[in-house]
Each structure stands twice: as C-alpha cells, then as structure tokens.
Amino acid sequence: MRSALRLARWLTFSIAACFLPATLPGAQAPATPWQVGVASRDITPEGSLWMAGYASRTAPSDRVDQKIRAKALALDDTRGGRVVIVTLDLIGVPAALRAHVERESAQRFGLKPHELLLNASHTHSAPLITLDRFELEHTFKRAATPEQIAVATRYEAGLRQALVDLVGESLQARAPGRLEFAQARAGFAMNRRRPEAKGQFSNNPNPGGPVDHDVPVLKVTGADGKVRALLFGYACHNTTLGESHISGDYAGHAQDFLQASYPGATALFLTGCGGDQNPYPRRKMVPDQKPEDLVRQHGRALANAVSTALNAPLRPVQGPLRGAYGHAMLDYQPLSKTELEAYLRPPHTPAVNARARDLLQKQARGKRSAPLACPVQVLRFGSDLTLVAIAGEVVVDYSLRLKRELKGPADVWVAGYSNDVFGYLASRRVLDEGGYEGGGANIRILNHPGPFTTDVEEKVIGKVHELLGQVRK
C-alpha cells in the first residue's frame, strides 16, 4: 500500500514535471541576480538662465517651479554585461555632452560606448545648454551678450562634470538586486500634426493621428525587498508649461509623485518616440485651468500608470545583458539656390543669413553636405526585454514599427531623445507629408542643410536590426 502510494506520488510528480518548462522563471535563478546602483543630482541652475525650447521667449528664467535632476541607474548582470542609464530633466543631449561623458566614463570607469545611455526628457522649462553660437543667437533672436554666454558656459561645464561623477556614483552604489518589467498605459499624449487644407500640417491636436500610449516600467528591487528604482517611459513632449520658470514639466512631476509613493526609490524618466506628440491640454488651452495645474494632472496620470503597471503581472528580467552602439548615416536633401537665397534677408536672423551664405558657397563649389551620424543603441536583457534607444526627436512611427517588427518572446521598449538630440527624426510618412517635423524645422532655422533624404527611416531601422544581430550572436 505504502509503495503503491509512493509510486502514485512519483508518477504524479513525473507527469507534472513533463508539462513544466525546463527552467521555471525565478525558480532556479538567484533571487537577486543583478548588481544595481542608483544616483541622483540636482542640476537646477542657480540664478537666472536663458531657457531652451521655445524661440518665442524674450527673457531668461525668472523662477524655479520645480527642481530639475540628472539621475543614473547602473545595471550589472555580474557576468560582464552592464549599462549606466542616465536620465536628464533637460531639453536634449548635445553630441558634445555625450562625447565628453563617454570619454571620461571610459577613462575613469572603463565604460564602453554601448554601456552608457543618455536620455533627455525634452522639458521646455530647463536651461539652454547648446553652446553653439548659432543656436544661441537664433534662440535669442539677436546676438547673445558675453554675460549670457558666460552664464550658459558655466552651467554646461558644471553639468558635464556632474554627469561623469553621477555615472561613477551609480557604479559605486551597486548592490544585489532584481529586475522586473511591466507595462501600462496613459492617454494624455496626442499626435500634434493636424492635417489642414492643401495637404499641409499644422502644430495642433490631431486626435486621429498615431500615438504610442505605452508606459513601460523597469522595477528595480534590492535584496531587502524594497524598491530601489523605477525606470519608466512615455512618448510625449514635455511641453505642458510655457512660462519662463524652471521645471521638469509632467515627467518631473511624475518622478516626484512616484518617489513620494515609493519612499527610498529613485524614479527615472526615459523619453519615448514623442517627436510628434504633445501633452493635451497644455499651456493655456483651457480658459479656467492654469498650466501649473495641468502639468501636475499629467504627471499624476503618468505616475498612476506606473503604479498600475506595478500591480499587473511583473515579468522577471534575467541576463545576460548585451549591448551594441552604432550610427545610422543620414543624408540631406539639398535645398535649391532659390530656396537658400530666401534666407539671406530679413526677417531671418543674422545667424540664419550667415548659414545660408555658407550653404550657397558650398553649393557653388559643388560640395555636398556631410551626412549626420545618428546614434542608435540596443540593449538586450536575455530573452526578456529589448531596449532600443535612438537619437533625435524621434516621431512615433519608429516605436510603433519597431514594436511590430521585433515582436517575439522579449518585451520591446523604444526610447527616443537618446545620446544626441540634433532635431527631428522624421519617418518616411512624416517626411512625405512635410510640415514641421517632416523637415520644416530643419529648413526654417537652417540648423540642418535641409530635410533628410527619403531613405532615413530604412537607414535607422536597418541599423537597429544590424545592432540586434550583433547582440544575438
């Protein structure tokens, strides 16, 4: 009888085992397979600074509504795979800033390019950090004074150093932890390319246009079971506010709300492909609602989506972590002589006049503009999560397409505004449609020699696939 029972038990176990996967997620893996470190720095400027984002501003910042921060999350799979993800409450990541942090991080911490990801929230309520004279003069619509340039230069020098130190602090803070992924949704981002008469597109809410409302979340838990970090994303401009006050906009508020809800956790915002997405309503669209109320409302909505994701089934994220970093070389469509000559006169600023003269001279000598090297980065967390980070103000078509094309066992997370924010990265559709993100922004202020050629999307997507091929080997 006893042996029959033992046999029955053995049979039950054996039959059950046949239907179990070879490895149970989380069952055989160590409880804390990662080494994780977080660090945060206040990067709020002292005093008044010229601000980035809206060319309509005529005065520097006049107060601080919310402190802005740089944060770093170091993830180490303890088998040689690691990355430091740096998020910034800033308008963008100038290529020179990335180059500096990359160089210093290589020297001081041995980080390789694919082990560093810099992402900006694109808040339009932060200091101007591009020290390019042209950019300054265009933003100010007049020559910047030596004092203005000195203040901006000091801020950027301090920022460069702070970011390298921040990377080091996050690596230093590494301790055992585990990672989990989940996703929810938030609905306040809306497409902002509204079709108008004669096939043109204006910068206004377009409820029928494509959006990406996913809110991906990476939950980082320490060995004590406490949440150490929440990395979350959303594809939308941080343009709820329009005044001259320093603020992280909705992403800043979402981070603050989350840190209040999960004491001890650092919340980091990773901007998605929101190049053609705005938060609505925004600024002074609603007569009886103040922008400072709207920005908290959007921040709350996003923080609530993160909390909802944390209450959905969480997927354990295992290693190995493998990354690759490269550049898609993007060519420009040259502007005609007539088009360029139109920029030689007022109302265009002297900075734009000079740029047009330069391009005309190049054209006369038969010289083509050099292509733009657009950074593309991929991070593969075993077979659980693939994170793609693309430079520029990436329009939503890229994340929608990549999530479709890369669909498989791993979840897919696509970030824009990473490692260099050079301007808009249009898709083929947006380029064909034209308008602001389709090349109009490039041409209007001539910060690029023209719109990108029509193969731009294939080149960027092709680079993503190429890099993923490298990390799959």
User: How long, in residues, is the chain?
Assistant: 473
Q: Least CB distance from residue 203 to Zn ion, whole Å? A: 10
Whether the CB-CB separation of 340 and 356 falls below 8 Å is answered with yes
Closer Cβ to Zn ion, 33 or 451, answer by number: 451
DSSP string, 121-170: --BSSSB-----HHHHHHHHTSPPPHHHHHHHHHHHHHHHHHHHHHHHHH
Site string for Zn ion, 343-382 (x = CB under 5 A): ----------------------------------------
Stretch of 68-76, 144-152, 371-379, 390-398 lying at the interface with Zn ion (CB under 5 A): 390-398
| Minimum CB–partner distance for residue 396 and Zn ion (Å) | 13
Residue among 51, 244, 239 nearest 136 (CA): 51
CB of 393 to Zn ion, least distance (A): 5
| 187-205: burial string, b at 16+ Cβ within 10 Å, e else | ebbbbbbbeeeeeebeeeb
Return the C-alpha torsion angle 354, 355, 358, 360, nearest 10: -110
381 with 387: CB under 8 angstroms? yes
Query: Which CB atom, from 65 or from 393, has the smaller least distance to Zn ion?
Result: 393
| Residue closer to Zn ion, measured from CB, 136 or 441 | 441
Minimum gap (Å) between residue 437 Cβ and Zn ion: 8
CA atoms of 216 and 41, how far apart (whole Å): 24
The answer to whether the beta carbons of residues 248 and 66 sit under 8 Å apart is yes
Both tokens of 364, joined, read 């006369």
Can you give the C-alpha Rg of the chain in angstroms? 24
Q: Which stretch binds Zn ion (CB under 5 A): 28-36, 174-182, 388-396, 406-414?
A: 388-396
Report how many residues bind Zn ion under the rule CB under 5 A.
1
Return the number of the residue (384 or 420) whose C-beta is nearest Zn ion. 420
**Selection from 148, 133, 149 nearest residue 355 by Cα:** 133
Give the x/- contact pattern for Zn ion in 393-412, rule: CB under 5 A. x-------------------
Angle made by CA atoms 448, 451, 452, in degrees to the nearest 5: 100
Residue 428 CB: number of other CB atoms within 10 A? 16
Closer CB to Zn ion, residue 77 or residue 393?
A: 393
Q: Which stretch binds Zn ion (CB under 5 A): 75-83, 240-248, 392-400, 434-442?
A: 392-400
Least distance between Zn ion and beta carbon 122 (Å): 6
| Site track 35-74 with Zn ion (rule: CB under 5 A), x = hit | ----------------------------------------
Select the span of 349-357, 389-397, 398-406, 439-447 touching Zn ion (CB under 5 A). 389-397
Q: Which is nearer to Zn ion, 53 or 177 (CB)?
A: 53
- Strand partners for 190: 278
For Zn ion, the closer CB: 104 or 393: 393
Q: What are phi and psi of 452, to 5 degrees?
A: -70, 155
Span of 63-71, 171-179, 385-393, 461-469 interacting with Zn ion by CB under 5 A: 385-393
Q: Which is nearer to Zn ion, 81 or 392 (CB)?
A: 392
Q: How far apart are the first and last CA of the chain?
A: 54
| 3-class SS letters over 361-425 | HHHHCCCCCCCEEEEEEEEEECCCEEEEEECCEECHHHHHHHHHHCCCCCEEEEECCECCCCCEE
Distance in Å, CB of 341 to Zn ion, minimum: 28
Q: In this chain, which residue has its C-beta nearest to Zn ion?
A: 393
Q: Which is nearer to Zn ion, 26 or 281 (CB)?
A: 281
Considering the complex, what minimum distance in angstroms separates the CB of residue 372 from Zn ion? 17
| Residue 192 vs 403, nearer CB to Zn ion | 192
Compare residues 165 and 433 and give the one whose CB is closer to Zn ion. Answer: 433
Taking residues 157 to 196 in sequence order and writing x for each that binds Zn ion by CB under 5 A, - otherwise, the string is ----------------------------------------
CB of 50 to Zn ion, least distance (A): 17
Residues that bind Zn ion (CB under 5 A): 393
